[in-house]
Structure 1
Amino acid sequence: MNSPNNDSNTSQRPRLRTMFRLHREFVQDGYVLLYPQGSINLNPSAGEILARCDGTRELDDIIDELEDLFGASDLAADVYRFLDHARQRGWLE
């Protein structure tokens, strides 16, 4: 799977910046991204993506896991778009 915008994305191993910690909120069926100044509520899809951004998984592996988890295909463009957003927000290294 290649990103339409950046072929080097497939070799990346995204990782949350050390100042952030992802917390699963079972009651709210979502995730919270915690950081020293506060928190950000995430929907389940965003949380599942960030939960896999631990620096050990290749981007293609993350996409494959998410497609299996959600029983969907062709999620690559959505995952790339979210990861670009997360990078712009400073959540990822």
Structure 2
Amino acid sequence: MSPIKRDQAPTLRQGFRLQWEPRQDCHVLLYPEGMIKLNVSAGQILDLLDGRRSVAAIIDLLSENFPGVPGIDEDVLAFLEVAHAQFWIE
């Protein structure tokens, strides 16, 4: 599997849907076989995936929203690799 590239514009895989779940106080990723409860960071990253916005643009937005957080770009790339390996995104 190839690593996620900064110029790619990932999107949620068909059949997957991100939604805020008030009862769980977190984002969840819904898919036909179930649900994945996401931590705050994962929910924020997946919420920015629209198939048009590049990974670089997502990193820039998160860097602006969370200034001074070291290694945010590596963290975003690492999460997207996991999400891709789990078939959550394409």
Which interval holds the TM-score relative to the shorter structure?
A: 0.7 to 0.9
Structure 1 length normalisation: TM-score?
0.83
RMSD after superposition: 1.9
Mark the runs of 5 or more structure 1 residues left unpaired by the alignment.
none
Mark the runs of 5 or more structure 2 residues left unpaired by the alignment.
none
Aligned residue in 2 for 1:62: 58
Change (3 A) 1:91 1:76: same
Percent identity over paired residues: 44
Q: Secondary structure at the match of 1:10?
A: coil
Correspondence for 1:48 among 12, 20, 44? 44
Kindly provide the amino acid, as one letter, of the partner of residue 7 in structure 2.
Answer: S
**Structure-1 separation of matches of 2:9 and 2:38:** 21
Is 1:81 aligned to residue 78 of structure 2? Answer: yes
Quote how far apart the aligned CAs of 1:56 are.
1.1
Choose between structure 1 and 2: higher helix proportion: 1
